[in-house]
Amino acid sequence: MARKTRSGGDSPTPTQPDVSKPSSTNGSDNDASKAPTASSSPLAPDAIHIASTEQRFPVVGIGASAGGLAAFESFFSAIPVDTETGMAFVLVQHLAPDHKSILTDLVKRYTCMQVSEAEDGMAIEPDHAYIIPPNMDMALFKGVLHLLEPSAPHGLRLPIDFFFRSLAQDQHERAICVVLSGTGSDGTLGARAIKGEGGLVMVQAPNTATYDGMPRSVIATGLNDFVLAPAEMPAQLMAYVNHAFGKRTPTVAASGSTEDALTKICILLRDTTGHDFSQYKQSTLVRRIDRRIALHQLDRQGDYLRYLQQDPEEIEALFRDLLIGVTNFFRDPEAFAALQRDVIPRLFSDKPAGTPVRVWVCGCSTGEEAYSIAILLQEHLETLKKTYRVQVFATDVDARAIEQARSGLYPASIAADVSPERLARYFSQNADGEGYRIQKVVRDLLVFSEQDLIKDPPFSRLDLISCRNLLIYLNSDLQKRLIPLFHYALNAQGVLFLGNSESIGESLTLFNPLDRKWKIYLRREQVVGLPSTSLGQFLPAASTARTTPPTAPAQEWRKSKPDLRGLTEQALLDHYDPVALLIGGRGEILYIVGRTDAYFKLPTGDADMNVLTMAREGLARPLTTALHRAVAAKEVIEIPNVRVEIDDTVTRVNLTVRPLPPQSPDDTPPDLYLLVFEPTPAADPTSHPDAVAPDEGAASASSNARITKLERELQAKEEYLQSTLEEMETANEELKSTNEEMQSVNEELQSTNEELETSKEELQSVNEELATVNVELQTKVADLSRANNDMNNLLAGTGVATLFVDHQLRITRYTPTATQLIKLIQSDIGRSVGDIVSNLVNYTHFIEDVETVLKTLVPHEQEVQTQEGAWYLMRIGPYRTLDNVIEGAVITFADISGSRRSEDALRVAHHFAETLLDAVPTPLIVLNEDLCLMSANQAFYSYFQIARTDIQGQSLFALIDRHWNTPALRQLLSEVQSTGIGVEGHVVEHEIPGLGRRSIELNVSRLDPGEKQPGTVLIAFADVTERTARPITDPSEPPGSDHEQPRE
C-alpha cells in the first residue's frame, strides 16, 4: 500500500517560523523502526495516546476572509446561550495590517462566551474565543498562542494556512478547522494537514458564502467532512465533539469482537477497492476508523461494520480517510537542501551524456514531493553542458491523487512553500489567478502511475528512491520486506531518501548512511567479486566506455571475469590507429579516438567543444551536410573525397557519420553519432609535375592544361561559394543577434508579467482586506447611526435644550429646544456662539463662563431667565471624548420655571405662616426631626428674653443653659414624634429672666402625622404659675420629681 499520510517532525516552511511541535513525539506511529513486542497489544499506542490527552479539549480554528463577518455572526449566534461547548475557538481573518480591527467587539455581540484579542503567550481555554490581531501570524504550540511578525510579502500572506498547520501539529485528532467565506485558497493546505492528523474539516456551503473561493478550494480537494451553512455548524460540532471526546470510549483494546470487526472492515476495503490494509499499523487503522465512527455518531466498530455493509459509499470515504496525503512542496526544506547539495550532483557525476537518470517517488500523493525533486533535477541540469534523459516515476495507490498530480494544478497558497524564484521559473499562474500550474519543462520529466507497493513489482535500475513518511504507517513485517526491495531496485551507489521519523531498521548491511539527520542512505554492494587488476590500464575510462549504467548482475560478472571484448578492441585500436569522434545530438564532442589534429583545431577564446566550430577549412561544410542528413534520416551517411587544407597542404578524406543503435531492442536510440575519417591514397597531380612519363607527349600536356583550367574554374566557384557562405554566416550572425534581442525582450516581458502577477496578488489581498474593513465600517456606521438616533430621541424626549461648542466656541450642534433661548438657525453651525443673539436677560458673562470651564474643566451652574419670564438651570461642562480628550463644551438648559413658581409660592406661604405665628400671643416653636429649632414666633423670643440669632438651628435641649434637657421631656417628644399623638398640659418649672421662677405648660403636637418617622413637632408654651398651687421648683431637678406634672 504505497501512500503517505503525514510527516513526523516536519520543519516549518521557509516563510514560517518554527513553532510547530515535532510529530515524532506522538506515540509509536512515528517510529517506523520499532515493531510491537509479542506481549504488547497492537493497539497499545492508541491507549497511551488517549491517556495522555484525557484532560485536553478540542480547538476549533475558524478561517475567513472577505464576507467573514456575516458568517461569524451566524456561527456564534447559533451557539445556545449558557451552553458549555467544551471547545476553544480561534478566529483567523485576513485583516488590513495598518487598520485597527473591531472584530473582537463585533463577535462579543453574538456570543455569551468570553472573547479576547489574542496576545503572545496566551494560553487557550475552553468556551473562549480568541481573535487574531492585525498584521500578525498566529500559531499554537503546547496549547499556547504565539504571535509572529509576518515574513511573507503583503500579497502572499496565508495566515489561515499558517495557523491551521500549527493547530494540526499541536492538537492532532483534537484539531478542528472551519473554512468560511473568502476569496483565494488560503486554508486549503492547512485543512489537508488537519485531516492528515485525524482532525475534522468543516466548510461553509458555497451558496451561503458571500465569497465562495476559499470554501470551494477545500471542497475541490475532497478534504471536507461537512459542508454546512454557518448557522448549522455549532450543533454539528457539539454533536461530533461529545461523541468523539465525550463519554464514548475509543477502541483501545484488541478484544476478540473488536479484532474480528477490524478484520472484516479490512476485507470490505480489499473487496471494494482492491487494496489490502491489513498490513497497516493497527493503531493508525483503528484511530481512522474511530474518527469515522464519531462522524456518524455510532458506538462500536461492530456498528460501523454494519454501516459499511449498508452503505458502499462509506467504504470509499473510509478508503480516502486512510489515504489522506499530507504533503507540500519542499517539505522539510533542510532535508531538500541536503538532497540538492549532496545527492543530486552525484546522480550525474559518473554518467556519460545521454544516459538516463531514473528516480522513483513512492507514495507521491498529489505530486508535490515528486515535483519538488524534479525541480531540483531540472535546476542541476541547467548547470550542465551535457544532456541527460531524466525520468521521475511517481506512484501512489490513490487514483484520484494521481489524477490531480498529473494535472500539475495547485492552489495559490503553495506560494508559502515555494520560493518566489522557483515559482516564477517553474510555475505559471492560471488565467483566473486562483492557482498555479507546473511548467512543461518540469512536467515532462515525470511519469505518474497508480501502483500498490505491496503487490505490484518495483521499478529497476534506479538512481534515487524517495519514500518519505510512508513506512511509519506500515507494520514492521512489511517494512522488513520493503527495504530489501528498494536495495534491489537501486543501481550501484543508488540513494534512498526516507522521512525524518523513518529508518532502514535492521537492514544495516544494505545501506550506508549518507546523512543521518535527514535519513539519506547510500546503497551497499553485498556481493564480493574479484579485485581489480592491472588489466584496467588497457581499457578506456569507465565514464566514457558505457552510455548506460550496468545492472547489478553485470556488475557482479565484471567483478568475477575479465573483459575479453574490451581487451580485443583496445588491441585493434592500438594497431590500426583510426580517427573517430563520438558526438552528441547538438554537435558536442564526447569522446575522441586517434589523432584528430589533421582535421580539427582548438579555437581561440572561450573553449567550445562543438565539432563544427573546431573543424578545419574545407571540412565544416561537408560535415554540416552529413550531420543534418544523419540526424534527419537516422542512417549512415558517407561523403567521399572531402578536401581539407592543412598549412597550405591539401589532403582528401572519406567522411562517415554513423548514428549509434540502442543497446537493447526495448531501449530508445541514443542521440549519439560516430564520425569516422579515412584518408584517401590518391595524391594531388599538380603537386608532382615531374612524375609524367616522357612518352606520353602532347596528350599528357593537353590533359594537364585541361586539369589546370578545370581547377581554376573550380577554385573560382569555390571562392564564390565561400563568399556566399560568408554572407550567409553574416546573415546568420545577424539573425542570432536578433534572436538574442528577442529573447532579451521576452525575458523582460516575462519579468514584467511576473511583476504584474505579483501586483495582482497583492491587489487581491488588499481587496480582501478592504472588503473586511468595509464590512467593519458598515457595521460601525450602523452602530453610530443607532447611537445617533438614540441620542436625538433622548435629547428630544427630555426636552433639555443643549448646545455643543468647540474650543473656539464655535457651534457644532444644538437641539431644537435651544432655539427658545438662543436665536439659532441651521446655518449658524460653525459660527461663534458670541455672535448669536441671546434671549436671556441680566446675563452678560455667558462667554466668560464657558471659557472658564474650558480652562479649569470645573462644571458651572447658574439659573437664568428669558425675556418671556421662563427660568432655566444652565449647566456648562467640558465635552470629553472616549479617549478623555477635551474637545469643547456642552451647555444644557433645564426648564425650572415650574420649580421657581413653587419656590415663590412656598416663600409666600412661609412668610404668611411666620406673620400669622408672630400675631399669636402664645409662645410657639417648631422642631425638626432632630428636635432642633426650625422656627419660633416673636412671642417666644420676647417671653424667654432670647435673641433670634442666638438659638436658630440649635437643639431644644441646649437652650437656656440646657434647662430643657430632662429625660421626661425627651421621652415625651420621642413618643409624639413616633406615634403622632399629641400631649397637652405637660408642666415644667423654669427660671425666666425678669419674671423669676415660673410654671410653664407645654402642649406638644406633630405637624406631619402619617409621614416620615420621626416628624416635625409644634410646641406651645403657656404660663400657668398663677393657677398652680404648688411651689415653683427648679426644672433641672431629676426626672420624676413632683415639680413636673401634667395637667389634670
Cell for 591?
A: 569522446
Secondary structure (H, E, C), 765-820? HHHHHHHHHHHHHHHHHHHHHHHHHHHHHHHHHHCCEEEEECCCCEEEEECHHHHH
Secondary structure (H, E, C), 137-153? EEEEECCEEEEECCCCC
Q: Which amino acid is at 442?
A: V
Q: Is position 227 within any domain?
A: no
Share of the chain above pLDDT 90, in %: 11
Residue 376: pLDDT over 90: yes
Verify that 843 and 957 share a domain, yes or no: no
Q: Which CATH number covers residue 260?
A: 1.10.155.10
How far is residue 786 CA from its own chain's centroid?
35
Q: What is the pLDDT of residue 760?
A: 66
Q: Tell me which of 924 and 506 has the higher pLDDT.
A: 924
Q: Which CATH number covers residue 348?
A: 3.40.50.150
Which pLDDT band holds residue 559 (cuts at 50, 70, 90)?
A: very low
What count of other Cβ atoms lies within 10 Å of the Cβ of residue 478?
A: 17
Which pLDDT band holds residue 22 (cuts at 50, 70, 90)?
A: very low
d(CA 483, CA 537): 37
Cell for 436?
A: 498555479
What count of other Cβ atoms lies within 10 Å of the Cβ of residue 455?
A: 11
**CA dist 1 to 201, 280, 310, 461, 487, Å?**
25, 8, 26, 22, 18
pLDDT digits (tens, 9 = 90+) for 499-522: 888 888 777 888 888 888 888 999
d(CA 488, CA 461): 9
Q: What is the pLDDT of residue 665?
A: 64
Q: Which amino acid is at 78?
A: A
d(CA 804, CA 339): 73
Q: Final residue of a domain: which of 284, 301, 322?
A: 322
Verify that 723 and 676 share a domain, yes or no: no
Q: Is position 38 within any domain?
A: no
Q: Is position 193 within any domain?
A: no
Orientation of helix 256-273 relative to helix 282-295, angle to 10°:
90
pLDDT digits (tens, 9 = 90+) for 381-413: 988 888 888 999 999 988 888 888 998 888 888
Q: Is position 59 within any domain?
A: no
d(CA 324, CA 517): 26
Q: What is the pLDDT of residue 234?
A: 92
Q: Which domain holds residue 709?
A: 699-791
Verify that 889 and 937 share a domain, yes or no: no
Q: What is the pLDDT of residue 202?
A: 92
In 382-504, which ranges are continuous DSSP H helix?
A: 399-407, 420-426, 440-443, 476-489
Q: Which amino acid is at 544?
A: T
What count of other Cβ atoms lies within 10 Å of the Cβ of residue 902?
A: 11
Verify that 587 and 640 share a domain, yes or no: yes
Q: Is position 107 within any domain?
A: no
Which pLDDT band holds residue 178 (cuts at 50, 70, 90)?
A: very high
- The strand pair at 446-450 and 389-396 is best described as parallel
Verify that 863 and 928 share a domain, yes or no: no
Q: Is position 382 within any domain?
A: yes
Q: What is the pLDDT of residue 587?
A: 82
Sheet holding 128-131, edge to edge: 114-117, 128-131, 88-93, 59-64, 175-179, 200-204, 226-228
Verify that 297 and 433 share a domain, yes or no: no
Q: Final residue of a domain: which of 483, 503, 523?
A: 523
Omega of the bond leading into 1014 within 30 degrees of 0 (cis): yes
Verify that 358 and 481 share a domain, yes or no: yes
Q: Which residues contact 643 (CB under 8 A, 6 or more apart)?
A: 618, 650, 651, 652
Q: What is the pTM of this model?
A: 0.48
**CA dist 555 to 446, 530, 682, Å?**
28, 11, 48
Q: Of the given ranges (149-153, 247-251, 685-689, 859-863), which has the lowest mean pLDDT?
A: 685-689
Verify that 742 and 865 share a domain, yes or no: no
Q: Is position 417 within any domain?
A: yes
Q: Is position 820 within any domain?
A: yes
d(CA 391, CA 400): 22
pLDDT digits (tens, 9 = 90+) for 610-655: 888 888 877 888 888 888 888 877 888 888 888 887 767 778 888 8
Verify that 338 and 417 share a domain, yes or no: yes
Please give the positions annotated as active site. Answer: 65, 94, 186
Q: Which CATH number covers residue 959?
A: 3.30.450.20
d(CA 168, CA 223): 14
Of 977, 990, 983, residue with least CA distance to 1034:
990
Cell for 543?
A: 565514464
Q: What is the pLDDT of residue 998?
A: 81
Q: What is the pLDDT of residue 261?
A: 80
| 79 in Cβ contact with 73 (< 8 Å) | no
Which pLDDT band holds residue 2 (cuts at 50, 70, 90)?
A: very low
- In the block, cell 400657668 appears at 1024
Residue 869: pLDDT over 80: yes
Q: Final residue of a domain: which of 523, 539, 560?
A: 523
Verify that 863 and 880 share a domain, yes or no: yes
Cell for 788?
A: 445617533
Residue 1046: pLDDT over 60: no
What count of other Cβ atoms lies within 10 Å of the Cβ of residue 141?
A: 14
Q: Which amino acid is at 119?
A: E
Q: What Rg, from alpha-carbon coordinates, does the chain have?
A: 52
Verify that 481 and 403 share a domain, yes or no: yes
Instruction: Work out the burial of residue 201: count CB atoms within 10 Å of its CB; fewer than 13 is exposed, 13-18 middle, 19 or more buried.
Output: buried
Verify that 831 and 956 share a domain, yes or no: no
Q: What is the pLDDT of residue 325?
A: 66
Structural domain count of the chain = 6
- The strand pair at 88-93 and 200-204 is best described as unpaired
The dihedral over CA atoms of 526, 528, 533, 536, expressed in degrees to the nearest 10, equals -30
Q: Of the given ranges (178-192, 238-252, 269-283), which has the lowest mean pLDDT?
A: 238-252
